[in-house]
Structure 1
Amino acid sequence: MKRILSLIAVLGIACIIAVQPTVAEAATSFPDVPENNRFHDEIQYLVNKEIISGYSNGKFQPKRNVTRGEAAIMIGRMLGYDGRPTATRFTDVTAQNGASGYISEAAVYGIISGYPDRTFRPNEYITRGDMAIFLARAFDIETGSIREFKDVREQMKAYSSIRNIAGDFITTGYSDGTFRPASKVTREQFSAFLARGLSPEYKQRTVKKDGYSRDMTKKYVFSSPNGDIRMEYKKTMGQFGELHYAGFFWVIQGPKSGDIWYIQQEETDEMLIESYPFSNYEIALKYPVKVGTSWSGYGLSETDALKITGVNKTIKTPYKTFTNVVEVNEKGYKHYYVKGVGHVKTVDPTGKLVSELKSIR
């Protein structure tokens, strides 16, 4: 089996256009959005990007439900639509509707859709299911997720979209394992979803605090016998076989010019996985972490299962010496993981170095 983290496998590459939004300092504050509001930073981030705004009384009304028309406005601003009022294909959205320009353009580009009776129903509150559909299209997300929700079934219209935004760290659902697709969306919630779609900083806030995944806001450098390997989570545009995609990936640059890999990483309460886009995923760690835990990997037989062989290892790397390191054995290859950092080192069956962490910044 060729390990992703060992950077042995080779993937066909495409051109990359990198966009790394940064979180700006808040330029505006609302009296009803104090700093202790869970989504304060996300709201201010979008205000500074002129994607959302408050009301004439100076308030933001974070708990107010979002209408379908308001959602179209915010998504349209995010995508750079001009928003000039215009006639639309929907019988209930005339040029007199302030959201008509955004609704019309979003419909043209296939971001939003109406109902079979040719209405859009701009004043209806948007549901979490419809929100997932709109955002998956707006951010062009198609790679799915290993996360399952108790109340999301394959027959649902929003099924794929919900899985897509979950895999892109836009939503995590609720603590009871549900997504609640029929529930309404508040202004603060919608702000959080948009901010997560745009910035790794807000994506990172959705992950397990005590997990073993890499930090999406950091750049990693690994040393290897052939030279340095660089890893950065960023927005890219590329082509994978016949599929086109624009979204966030871990982009890995190998020692040689032109050596590029795209990797997805996702973590749940059950496992940490990595995969190539539109491909089978590999389980890097199985939870709970304890010696003797084993699992089968993609393309491996039961006798070749991966196994946790240590949980309190001390491992030295050029970056630093780590303690309480988890060791995973895979057919003699040993992979080492650190809580809050991720994969830090791999050695081959003879003990020779494959890769080790050199720097994080």
Structure 2
Amino acid sequence: MKRRWTALVCAVGLCAGLTLPAAAAGTYVDVPGGAWYADEVSQVTEKGYMTGVDPTHFVPLANVTRATVVTVLWRMAGSPAPTASSGFSDVAADAWYTQAVDWAKEKKIASGDGKGAFHPDQQITREEMAVLLARYDAYQGIDMAEGALNLFSDANQISSWAKEGVQHAVGMGWLEGTDGKLNPDGLASRAQLAAILVRMDTPAMG
């Protein structure tokens, strides 16, 4: 049973791109009603941004892959048809995330590793995710926010290439620290991604 559950968690990235029966709010047996992410999971499921690994399991604490992040951003953009192939050597023409990766490359949201590969199944860190989210906003014509990174004790651990993206994510209220730390190298979970998507989809009040 343990091996079967491990296999299910490892398949999270794959299932993120499959068309599964729509799950009504509260039908995921692994999302307790009192969990901090319960409402967010319900919202992203209802909007079609994210799906469960099957109709009754969301696996909220599983780590998110690069393919999953670009796929949900593509869905938020309305699932537009890309005009060209990304050309990444590790993105098969028939993969569930191919259109999303092609679109993300075309819109300068994802750029790969500089060596011709995208690494779709690689688990994504919080700072890497912040960069993709910030580029998505840039694609939408939104100015970059300048969050106060000096409020976090581990701000010096943010990679130089990710600083602008993390600043934007903090300034927009998407990334929130824990105990005064951002944990930029920490892996992002499906629950965290769901929460961020809801924040991105909520108009700012002002």
* TM-score bracket for this pair, using the shorter chain length: 0.7 to 0.9
Q: What is the Cα deviation at residue 143 of structure 1?
A: 2.2
Whole-angstrom CA distance in 2 between matches of 1:100 and 1:83: 11
Counterpart position of 2:25: 28
Structure 1 counterpart of 2:181, from 175, 178, 181: 178
SS of the residue corresponding to residue 157 of structure 1 reads: helix
Aligned to 2:3: none
Higher RCO, Cα 8 Å, sep 6+: 2
Which TM-score applies when normalising by structure 1? 0.46
For 2:44, give the aligned amino acid: L
Cα pair 1:76 1:83 within 8 Å, conserved: no
C-alpha contact (below 8 Å) 1:33/1:62 kept by paired residues: yes
Q: Distance in 1 between matches of 2:65 and 2:166?
A: 19
CA contact (8 A) 2:86 2:106 kept: no
The counterpart of 2:173, out of the listed 169, 174, 182, is 169
Deviation at 1:198, TM superposition (A): 1.1
Between the aligned partners of 2:128 and 2:42, the Cα distance in structure 1 is: 24
User: Residue 69 of structure 2 is aligned with which of 65, 68, 71?
Assistant: 71
Q: 2:92 aligns with which of 91, 94, 115?
A: 94
CA contact (8 A) 2:149 2:155 kept: no
CA contact (8 A) 1:152 1:159 kept: no
Task: Tell me the percent identity.
Answer: 28
> Cα distance, 1:28 vs. partner?
2.9
Per the alignment, residue 131 of structure 2 pairs with 133
Structure 1 residue ranges without an equivalent (≥5): 1-25, 201-215, 217-232, 234-249, 251-361
Q: How far 1:180 moved relative to its partner?
A: 1.3
1:145-224 residue pairs with structure 2 within 5 A?
Answer: 145-148=147-150, 149-153=152-156, 156-175=160-179, 177-200=180-203
Determine the C-alpha separation between the residues in 2 that align with 1:186 and 1:119: 23
The equivalent of 2:105 in structure 1 is: 107
Residue 47 of structure 2 aligns with an amino acid whose one-letter code is K
Query: CA 1:184/1:72 → structure 2, altered by over 3 Å: closer, same or farther?
Result: same
Stretches of structure 2 that go unaligned for 5 or more consecutive residues are 1-22
Deviation at 1:161, TM superposition (A): 1.0
Tell me how many residue pairs correspond in the alignment: 176
Q: Which runs of 4+ in 1 moved over 3 A?
A: none
Select the structure that is richer in strand.
Answer: 1
Matches of 2:185 and 2:145 in 1, distance apart?
23
- What is the identity, as a one-letter code, of the residue corresponding to 2:72? M
Determine which of 130, 141, 145 is the counterpart of 1:143.
145
Larger relative helix fraction: 2
Q: Counterpart of 2:4?
A: none
Residue 136 of structure 1, CA deviation? 1.0
Distance in 2 between residues matched to 1:65 and 1:145, nearest whole Å: 25
Q: Is the 8 A contact 1:54 1:60 kept in 2?
A: yes
**C-alpha distance after superposition, 1:50-78 (max 9, x if no partner):** 10111225200001111111111111111
Query: Structure 2-normalised TM-score?
Result: 0.78
**CA–CA separation in structure 2 for the residues paired with 1:110 and 1:51:** 20
Counterpart Cα distance in 2 of 1:113 and 1:137? 11
Quick one: which of 53, 56, 80 aligns to 1:58? 56
| Distance in 2, Cα, partners of 1:197 & 1:126 | 18
